Chain A
Amino acid sequence: MNTSLRRHLIASVIGLATAALSPALLAQTVAPIKAVASFSILGDLVRQVGGDRVAVEVLVGPGSDAHVFQPTPSQARLVGQAQIVFSNGLGFEGWMSRLLGTAGYKGRHVVASRGIQAIHTEEAGEKPHAGHQHEETDPHAWQSVPNAMVYVGNIVKGLCEADATGCASYRRNAVAYNAQLKALDTDIRATWAVIPATQRKIITSHDAFGYYAHAYGVKFLAPQGVNTDSEASAKGVAQLVRQIKQEQIKALFVESISDPRLIAQIGRETGAKPAGELFSDSLSNAQGPAASYVAMMRANTTALTQAIQGH
Chain B
Amino acid sequence: MNDIAVSPLMAWLVGNPLLGPFAEFGFMRDALLGCVALSLSAAPVGVFLMLRRMSLTGDAMAHAILPGAAIGYLVSGLSLTAMTIGGIAAGLTVAVGSGLVARNTVLREDTSLAAFYLLSLALGVLIVSVRGNSVDLLHVLFGTVLALDNAALTLLGGISATTLVALALLYRPLVLECLDPGFLRQVSRWSPVAHYGFLGLLVINLVAGFHALGTLMAVGIMVLPAATARFWVRRLGPLLLLATALALLACLSGLLISYHADWPTSPVIVLSLGAMYLLSLLFAPQGALRHQRPASSHLQA
CB neighbours of A259 from chain B (8 A): 78, 139, 144, 147
Total residues of chain A contacting the partner, CB 8 A: 24
Contact, CB under 8 Å: B144 / A241: no
Q: In the complex, how many angstroms separate the beta carbon of B267 from the nearest chain A beta carbon?
A: 8
Q: Is the CB of B27 within 8 A of A266?
A: yes
Give the residues in chain B near A234, CB-CB below 8 Å. Answer: 21, 28, 31, 146, 255, 258-259, 265
Most buried by A among B77, B264, B267: B264
Tell me the smallest distance from the CB of A231 to a CB of chain B, in Å.
Answer: 4
Any chain A CB within 8 A of the CB of B130?
Answer: no
Confirm or deny: A233 has a beta carbon within 8 angstroms of a beta carbon on chain B. Answer: yes
Task: Judge if A32 is at the interface, Cβ distance under 8 Å.
Answer: no
Q: Which residues from B are CB-within-8-Å of A238? A: 21, 24-25, 27-28, 259
Total CB contacts across the A-B interface at under 8 A: 81
Residue B261, interface by CB 8 Å: yes
Partner of A268, one of B2, B139, B149, B265: B149
Query: A262's contact among B1, B77, B147, B262, by CB below 8 Å, is which?
Result: B147
The interface residues of chain A lying within 8 Å CB-to-CB of B146 are: 232, 234, 237, 262, 265
Q: How far is the CA of A225 from the CA of B27 in the complex (A)?
A: 15
Q: Does A230 sit within 8 A of B, measured CB to CB?
A: yes
Do residues A264 and B149 form an inter-chain contact, with CB atoms below 8 A? Answer: yes
B158 at the A/B interface (Cβ < 8 Å)? no
Instruction: Please tell me if B231 contacts chain A, counting CB pairs below 8 Å.
Output: no
A269 CB within 8 Å of chain B: yes
Residue of A nearest to B139 (CB): A259
Say yes or no: is A289 at the interface (Cβ < 8 Å to chain B).
no
Known: A259-B139, A259-B147. A245 touches B26 (CB 8 A): no
- Whether B191 sits at the interface, judged by CB under 8 Å, is no
A246 within 8 A of B: yes
Is residue B263 contacting chain A, with contact meaning CB distance below 8 A?
yes
Q: Are B2 and A245 in contact (CB under 8 A)?
A: yes
A233 touches B258 (CB 8 A): yes
Establish whether residues A235 and B258, one from each chain, have CB atoms under 8 Å apart when the complex forms.
Answer: yes
Any A CB within 8 A of the CB of B142? yes
Chain A contacts of B21 at CB under 8 A? 234, 238
Asked whether B148 is an interface residue with its Cβ less than 8 Å from the other chain, the reply is yes
- Which residues of the partner chain A approach B28 to less than 8 Å between Cβ atoms? 234, 238
Enumerate chain B residues within 8 angstroms of A269, measured Cβ to Cβ: 25-27
Q: Which A residues touch B262, using CB under 8 A?
A: 225, 233, 235-236
Question: Is A258 an interface residue, CB under 8 A from the partner?
Answer: yes
Expressed in whole angstroms, the Cα–Cα distance for A246 and B1 within the complex equals 5
Q: Is B30 an interface residue (CB 8 A)?
A: yes
Q: Would you call B265 and A265 a contact (CB within 8 A)?
A: no
The answer to the question of B135 belonging to the interface, with a C-beta cut-off of 8 Å to chain A, is yes
* Pair B261/A235 contact, Cβ less than 8 Å: yes
Q: A233-B258, A241-B25, A269-B26 are in contact. Are A261 and B147 (CB under 8 A)?
A: yes
B147 contact set on A, CB distance < 8 A: 259, 261-262, 264-265
6 closest A-B pairs by beta carbon, nearest first, are A231-B264, A234-B259, A234-B258, A261-B147, A235-B262, A265-B147
Return 21 A-B CB contacts under 8 Å, by A number. Answer: A230-B264, A231-B138, A231-B265, A231-B266, A231-B267, A233-B258, A233-B259, A233-B264, A234-B146, A234-B259, A235-B260, A235-B261, A235-B262, A238-B28, A241-B25, A246-B2, A258-B136, A259-B78, A260-B77, A264-B149, A265-B149
B residues at A contact (CB < 8 Å): 1-2, 21, 24-28, 30-31, 77-78, 135-136, 138-139, 142, 144, 146-149, 255, 258-268
Besides A235-B263, A246-B2, 20 other CB < 8 A contacts? A230-B264, A231-B264, A231-B265, A231-B266, A231-B267, A232-B146, A233-B263, A233-B265, A234-B31, A235-B259, A235-B261, A238-B28, A238-B259, A259-B78, A259-B147, A260-B77, A260-B78, A265-B30, A266-B27, A269-B27
